[in-house]
Each structure stands twice: as structure tokens, then as C-alpha cells.
Amino acid sequence: MTAKPRILTGDTPTSTGLHLGHYVGSLENRLALQEQYDSYFLIANVHAFTTMADKPEQIRANTIGIIKDWLAVGLDPDRSTFVLQSEIPAIAELTFFFAMLIPFNKVMRNPTLKTEIETKGLGDSYPFGFPMYAVGQCADILAFRPELVPVGEDQEAHIEMCRDVALKFNQQYCGVGNRVPAAEHVQAGGLFPIPAAKVGRVARLAGIDGTNKMSKSLGNAIFLYDSAKDVQKKLNKITTGRQSPNEPGDGNNVLMQYVDAFIAGGDPARAAEIKRRYVAGDNLGDGHVKAELGEAINRLLEPMRARRATLDGPAGDQRVMEVIAQGVKRANVVAEETLTLAKKAMKADFVHRTIG
């Protein structure tokens, strides 16, 4: 066992790959943190069934695609642990126990779930398992007892729920007093550290529709594996309502958000200049901004595309299978340990079992 503090974060395989929102919202943080932290990166393939239960082949292909993107971005399966949710039984078991610690109405009031129901058009016919995923996510996280969870802003409500579960568990089953501050729960005998969300450089990147969060499921994403041509095509589709290069532009519209996200890091002076001229209506058209954004985004994506290309085809799929097997083995050691300790605290430990 390593002494490094742990982080856990993950992605749901609802699409064949990851997008720019993932990169600035979470992947960048993962890359930076995988050095100092014992990192767990989880593919929530069980949760993909909440909206895609009729498409199992697609979920499988998406799982493989996202792991290829992780490798292409630079997440390292030797230093970090890649966790495939469906192969970690302790997560499912903890989900059931944790469901007893969260009031039903609180789950149903979770703002992230509400937004998802609306934007994904789930109406009132979504399965029982859909709201259940919010409880499951508490188990995804707590199974690994991390201190930090690098996520986008949309996940903050979920992390808050996860903190509530950890606090309640520690108080109810580990004898931690109600007044013990969250940071001191483990010293006070609690099983779970109370995890904190770590939101990325860009908390919420808008999609090319200009309004919603960039999202795999909403058809408004620029994917990390999109070709240079497709990136430019997608940028060109953005509409801001601006009529001419001399019309003062909105400094917070989606194009300006992208300037902040993709130009300001490498060339802050140029980003400031673009924003100044855009807002002033100083002869800077949307088309010009889109072309500069295309160049900057493609510079960022090119090395990832090149690495992703080396994982194409059956040899790449085989590599992913190896990475999954290696990660699942390591993840089950930690998750089983957590489950054993949790069951002990809950007086529900009767027989010792081993997995793997």
C-alpha cells in the first residue's frame, strides 16, 4: 500500500470518446495530479445503462474508446489505476448500503439530476436506476476512500451528496461525533475521509450550441479525436447573432469562453487583444476568431490524435483489455478492503471472502 493521498474521478461511456469539456474540466487536473496522488480513474459503464440500456454493444465500444482517449491524453495505467465499474462488486454492494443513508427526496432534488432529465429529454419515463446512479456515484468514490475528486462544476452536487454519505456513515457506524469537523473524521475513527471536489481550470465549458454544457449526449461536443477539419467545421457552426466585425461583441459568449480556455493559456497577450477588439467591435469578425481558435485547439489535439491513432484496430483493443485487467485487479484489492471495513462497522460481516 502506498502512502500517497488518493484521488478518484471518472467518465461515463455514453459516447465513443471524450471532448474538450472533459479536457479543461477534468483531464488536465488528472494529468497534473497523477504524479503526486495515488490516482483511480473510473469508467462508469454500469451508469451508462441508465440512459442506454438498449445499446449494450455501444456501451462496450464507448468503454474501449474512452480508455483509448485516456491513454492518448497521457493517463498512465502503470502509475494510476484504471477502474472498470462493472468488475468491482464492492461498488454495487456499497451502493445498496449507502442508499439507506440518503433521503429519497434529497436524491430527487439533486440539481444535476434535474438538469440531466431536462437536457437529455428523459421526461418522466426514466428508469428507477437513473436517480439511483447518484447514490452509485457515492459508492464509486468512497470505495477508494479518496481525498480529492477532480470534476467539472456539474458534478459538485454529486460530490456534496457523497460527502453527506461519508459524514453520516462515519457518525452512524464509526462513532464519530456530530461536531467533529469533516477534515478530522479519519483521526476521530471514521472509515471514510470526507472527499473534496477539485474543479478544473474551466468549470463548465459551453458546447457549440452556445448555451448548454458541452456534453457527450447533447450533440454539441468537439471530441478529442475529431479531425482537424471537423474541429474547424464544428467551430464554424457556432452562431453568436453578431452581424459584422464592427458590431460590439459579447465578451462572455461561447467564442470568448473558448478564447479563454484555449488561447489564453498559451498566449495571454493575444487572448486579451482578441477580447478587447471583439468587445469594442474593432474590426474582428467571428470568422477570424473561429479560425484562430481552430488553430489553437488543433495544436492542443494533434499529439493526442497521433497517440490515439497508434491504438486503432485489434492491437489497440487488445492493449485496452490488458489495461482493464491490470486496473480491475488493483482496484478490487482496495474496494474489497473498504467493503470489508464498512461491513465490519455495520456489524454485517459474517464470512471472509476473496476476489480475483
**Whole-number minimum distance, CB 156 to ligand ATP, in Å?**
8
Nearer to ligand ATP, 81 or 215 (CB): 215
CB half-sphere exposure, 227, CA atoms < 13 A: 3
Handedness of CA 151, 156, 160, 161 (dihedral sign): negative
Which of these segments, 95-103, 132-140, 152-160, 346-354, binds ligand ATP (CB under 6 A)?
A: 152-160
Give the residue, chosen from 16, 217, 240, 340, that forms a contact with ligand ATP under the rule CB under 6 A.
Answer: 217
What's the rounded Cα separation, in Å, for the pair 339 and 327?
18
Which of these segments, 94-102, 212-220, 286-294, 317-325, binds ligand ATP (CB under 6 A)?
A: 212-220
- The pairs formed by 249-256 with CB atoms below 8 angstroms and a separation of 24 or more are 249/278, 249/279, 249/281, 249/284, 249/286, 250/279, 251/275, 251/278, 251/279, 253/210, 254/206, 254/207, 254/208, 254/210, 255/286, 255/289, 255/290, 255/293
Give the residue, chosen from 101, 138, 151, 331, that forms a contact with ligand ATP under the rule CB under 6 A.
Answer: 151
Nearer to ligand ATP, 11 or 87 (CB): 11
Q: Does 14 bind ligand ATP (CB under 6 A)?
A: yes
**Whole-number minimum distance, CB 62 to ligand ATP, in Å?**
10
Nearer to ligand ATP, 6 or 185 (CB): 6
Q: Does 214 bind ligand ATP (CB under 6 A)?
A: yes
C-alpha 38 chain-centroid distance? 17
**Whole-number minimum distance, CB 13 to ligand ATP, in Å?**
8
Nearer to ligand ATP, 25 or 249 (CB): 25
**Whole-number minimum distance, CB 214 to ligand ATP, in Å?**
4
Give the residue, chosen from 8, 12, 162, 222, that forms a contact with ligand ATP under the rule CB under 6 A.
Answer: 12
Give the residue, chosen from 55, 204, 277, 330, that forms a contact with ligand ATP under the rule CB under 6 A.
Answer: 204
Which of these segments, 31-39, 198-206, 241-249, 283-291, binds ligand ATP (CB under 6 A)?
A: 198-206
Q: Does 155 bind ligand ATP (CB under 6 A)?
A: yes
Give the residue, chosen from 213, 242, 290, 308, that forms a contact with ligand ATP under the rule CB under 6 A.
Answer: 213
**Whole-number minimum distance, CB 67 to ligand ATP, in Å?**
13
CB neighbours of residue 8 within 10 Å: 27
What does the block give as the cell for 123? 421526461
Q: Does 205 bind ligand ATP (CB under 6 A)?
A: yes
Residues 16-75 that bind ligand ATP (CB under 6 A): 21-22, 25-26
Give the residue, chosen from 45, 85, 215, 332, that forms a contact with ligand ATP under the rule CB under 6 A.
Answer: 215
**Whole-number minimum distance, CB 212 to ligand ATP, in Å?**
9
Nearer to ligand ATP, 26 or 253 (CB): 26
Please work out, in degrees rounded to the nearest 5, the angle formed at the alpha carbon of residue 215 by the alpha carbons of 213 and 219: 110
Nearer to ligand ATP, 85 or 170 (CB): 85
Size of the site for ligand ATP (CB under 6 A): 19
Q: Return residues touching ligand ATP (CB under 6 A).
A: 11-12, 14, 21-22, 25-26, 151-152, 154-155, 202, 204-205, 213-217
